[in-house]
């Protein structure tokens, strides 16, 4: 069965009852009826038919009908699309794809998601001199879809298990690209839902693998290294250095932990004017930062960006909205201001060789404005898309930043708690040697547990 065969144009409500409608509005109603019937039909068969049959229906409806010989009398669904625009076709095929993806994802039939994406990607039909012009147009639309970001976004679902080990380096950070899809209001609801679910799955998988790798890599049990590596791989690409990095991050606990400083800041700025809040925020972000070059650059650049921003509200008392918008503005300055290329400040700060310091500043922002987390993740997605066109060797410094960002925010996740404990057998030795505990990370072990 073909979608077009059960939703012919002649079956649509464009007869006598619609004579009073303008022609353009009449055509719009036809299109909407076709689309809704398509979506309802796909939703019904994906729940009751075998996936192979559903794929055959999809192929006959969107691909086989573009064959010159098969399409002499009918272009199927494309007849309706050609009366409108390429964008309507693209919106429709996207939503059809995500209806199938959403349902197969929920029933763990992930192999058919891959087959769907590859089915579209493998489309090749020969163009002959006698190919009708309408078929040429429809083929061009499908070709353009394959070259678009819409198809690239579909591929994230097809290669969900390959993100860490295969393909382009960007595949390792699919969770950010998926989250950006889920928050894009221009995407169909099925795409946003599928992207939200898969982004969450990938993030939880990363946090679990990181916690398991840490536990096993420090284990004193007689377990073969190969067995540990096989069962609990390191989800980062930082190698064994990841353990030392985690200890450095977790060591900042107690009275001067990032969470405590953030809570103190939130209490101190209550009822401040917007102008005073902007000044306080800048001081908070550079508090306890050791790298002087970083501090000077951040102070100067943020002052230039914030001082004149929304100055008409300087006398207003801040509220949650002021805090959120200001924190999002600072995130923009620190990552990408236009969503298309990295900000000058981002490049300047990372060029000084302090990716962890920049990540900590971003963490401090989210700790005082939890609702800024999605905004921050979207900006990370923008940066990933920008550097996507570069080979891995040319942007290792950015990749290093993203890796540290991943680890830091996994450590400060809502559902996992990391603790650093000095082992008893080593404690006495290090106390006798009067060593600085902050600089002697080898004496510590990292422990992680799920929060209640």
Question: 53 with 135, same domain?
Answer: yes
In a domain, residue 443? The reply is yes
d(CA 80, CA 315): 57
Q: pLDDT at position 302, please? A: 93
Calculate the alpha carbon distances from 3 to 15, 34, 192 in Å.
22, 9, 24
Q: pLDDT at position 161, please? A: 58
d(CA 71, CA 376): 48
Q: Assess contact for 328 and 310: CB atoms under 8 A.
A: no
Question: 377 with 283, same domain?
Answer: yes
Q: Assess contact for 340 and 299: CB atoms under 8 A.
A: no
Q: pLDDT at position 185, please? A: 93
d(CA 265, CA 260): 9
pTM above 0.75, yes or no: yes
Q: Assess contact for 4 and 77: CB atoms under 8 A.
A: yes
**Token pair of 383, please?**
């940066």
Q: What is the pLDDT along the chain (452 residues), one digit of tens a residue?
A: 656 554 443 443 334 444 444 566 777 888 888 899 999 999 999 999 999 999 999 999 999 888 765 545 567 788 888 888 999 999 999 999 999 999 999 888 999 999 999 999 998 766 666 778 888 899 999 999 999 999 999 999 987 755 444 567 998 999 999 999 999 999 999 999 999 999 999 999 998 888 888 887 776 444 554 444 456 678 899 887 888 888 888 877 655 789 999 999 999 999 999 999 999 999 999 998 888 899 999 999 999 999 999 999 999 999 999 999 999 999 999 999 999 999 999 999 999 888 999 999 999 999 999 999 999 999 999 999 999 989 999 999 999 999 999 999 998 876 777 777 766 555 544 444 444 444 566 667 777 776 65
In a domain, residue 8? The reply is yes
d(CA 196, CA 192): 6
- Domain count across the chain: 4
Handedness of CA 291, 294, 296, 302 (dihedral sign): negative
In a domain, residue 315? The reply is yes
In a domain, residue 141? The reply is yes
Contacts of 448 (CB under 8 A, 6+ apart): 211, 214, 215, 416, 417, 418, 419
- Closest by CA to 328, choosing from 397, 281, 271, is 281
Question: 209 with 243, same domain?
Answer: no
| Structural domain boundaries, residue 311 | 237-414
Q: pLDDT at position 355, please? A: 93
Question: 224 with 126, same domain?
Answer: no
Question: 214 with 309, same domain?
Answer: no
Question: 393 with 308, same domain?
Answer: yes
* Of 220, 235, 250, the domain-final residue: 235
Question: 16 with 71, same domain?
Answer: yes
* Of 235, 254, 269, the domain-final residue: 235
Question: 354 with 246, same domain?
Answer: yes
Question: 260 with 392, same domain?
Answer: yes
In a domain, residue 167? The reply is no
In a domain, residue 164? The reply is no
**Token pair of 26, please?**
């009449």
In a domain, residue 165? The reply is no
* Of 192, 219, 235, the domain-final residue: 235
Question: 27 with 48, same domain?
Answer: yes
Question: 148 with 183, same domain?
Answer: no
In a domain, residue 129? The reply is yes
Specify burial of residue 279 (Cβ count, 10 A radius: 0-12, 13-18, 19+): middle
The owner of tokens 């272009």 is 75
């Amino acid at each position: 069965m073909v979608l077009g065969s059960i939703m012919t144009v002649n079956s649509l409500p464009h007869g006598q009852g619609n004579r009073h409608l303008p022609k353009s509005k009449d055509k719009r109603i036809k299109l909407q009826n076709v689309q809704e019937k398509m979506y309802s039909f796909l939703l019904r068969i994906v729940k009751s038919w075998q996936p192979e049959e559903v794929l055959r229906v999809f192929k006959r409806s969107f691909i086989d009908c573009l064959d010159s010989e098969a399409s002499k009398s009918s272009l199927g669904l494309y007849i309706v699309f050609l009366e409108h625009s390429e964008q309507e076709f693209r919106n429709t095929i996207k939503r059809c794809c995500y209806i199938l993806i959403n349902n197969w994802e929920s029933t763990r039939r992930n192999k058919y998601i891959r087959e769907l994406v590859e089915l579209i990607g493998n489309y090749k039909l020969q163009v002959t001199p006698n190919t009708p012009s309408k078929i040429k147009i429809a083929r061009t639309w499908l070709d353009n879809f394959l070259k678009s970001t819409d198809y690239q976004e579909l591929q994230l679902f097809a290669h969900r298990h390959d993100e860490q080990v295969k393909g382009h380096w960007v595949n390792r950070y699919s969770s950010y690209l998926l989250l950006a899809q889920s928050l894009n209001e221009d995407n169909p609801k099925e795409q946003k839902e599928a992207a939200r679910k898969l982004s969450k799955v990938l993030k939880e998988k990363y946090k679990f693998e990181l916690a398991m790798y840490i536990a096993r890599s420090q284990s004193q049990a007689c377990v073969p290294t190969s067995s540990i590596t096989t069962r609990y791989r390191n989800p980062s690409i930082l190698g064994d250095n990841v353990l030392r990095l985690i200890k450095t991050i977790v060591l900042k606990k107690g009275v001067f932990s990032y969470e405590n400083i953030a809570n103190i800041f939130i209490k101190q700025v209550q009822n401040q004017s917007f102008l005073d809040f902007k000044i306080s925020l800048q001081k908070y972000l550079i508090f306890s930062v050791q790298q002087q070059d970083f501090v000077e650059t951040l102070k100067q650049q943020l002052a230039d960006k914030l001082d004149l921003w929304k100055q008409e509200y300087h006398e207003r008392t801040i509220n949650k909205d002021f805090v959120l918008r200001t924190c999002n503005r600072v995130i923009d300055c620190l990552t990408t201001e236009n969503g298309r290329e990295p900000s000058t400040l981002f490049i300047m700060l990372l060029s000084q060789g302090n990716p962890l310091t920049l990540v900590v500043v971003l963490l401090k922002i989210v700790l005082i404005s939890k609702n800024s987390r999605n905004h921050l993740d979207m900006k990370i997605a923008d940066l990933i898309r920008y550097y996507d066109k570069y080979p891995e060797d040319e942007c290792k410094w950015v990749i290093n930043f993203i890796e540290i960002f991943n680890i830091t925010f996994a450590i400060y996740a809502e559902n996992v708690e990391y603790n650093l404990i000095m082992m008893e057998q080593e404690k006495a030795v290090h106390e006798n040697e009067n060593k600085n505990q902050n600089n002697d990370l080898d004496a510590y072990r990292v422990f992680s547990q799920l929060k209640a």
